[in-house]
Amino acid sequence: SHFFIIHSGTFDVLIGGKQVNQMRKGKAFGEIALIHNCARSATVRASEDGGIWGVGRTKFRAILKSLSSRNFTENRQFLESVKIFEMLTDAQKNMICNAFVVEIFPANATIVSQGDQGDRLFIVKDGSLRVSINGKEIRKLQKGDYFGERALLY
């Protein structure tokens, strides 16, 4: 019935009576039951005095819907700046935008490795990437640049 965010204290997560995790300030729980309209998958119990903030199901779902709409609008505007899509119709761009999955990578993370099987198109939404062949940096990708299209086309 609620999505919760821990404000203070320590909370134990129990499944089948066995502690499987412990959460502290800033952690959240309860979203799975609200998103999928199912029973709770775990019990959360305060292991010391603590406080939580709660958001009811209706408000939580409204917030998710609003965020989804905002993300679509932001991604759709971003798509206009990506050269490979400039020849597509608005309907085609909307379809692609609906298929977007945003992934966030930490600095210096390897996105793909030379020799990997290619099955995705990547578009740099924010930040920059270094491209290396045989360990030698050959170029830098910035916002709006893309890679992986050749694996999809050939």
Global model pTM greater than 0.85? no
Token readout for 98 is 């609906």
The alpha-carbon radius of gyration of the chain (Å, integer) is 21
Helix/strand/coil percentages in the chain, nearest 5: 30, 30, 40
pLDDT (mean) for 29-43: 85
Sign of CA dihedral 31, 37, 41, 46: positive
pLDDT tens across 65-83, in order?
887 788 888 889 888 888 8
Q: What is the mean pLDDT of the chain?
A: 89
pLDDT tens across 14-23, in order?
999 999 999 9
pLDDT band, residue 154 (cuts 50/70/90): low
pLDDT tens across 128-146, in order?
999 999 989 999 999 889 8
pLDDT score, position 26: 93
Q: Is 80 exceeded by the pLDDT of residue 51?
A: yes
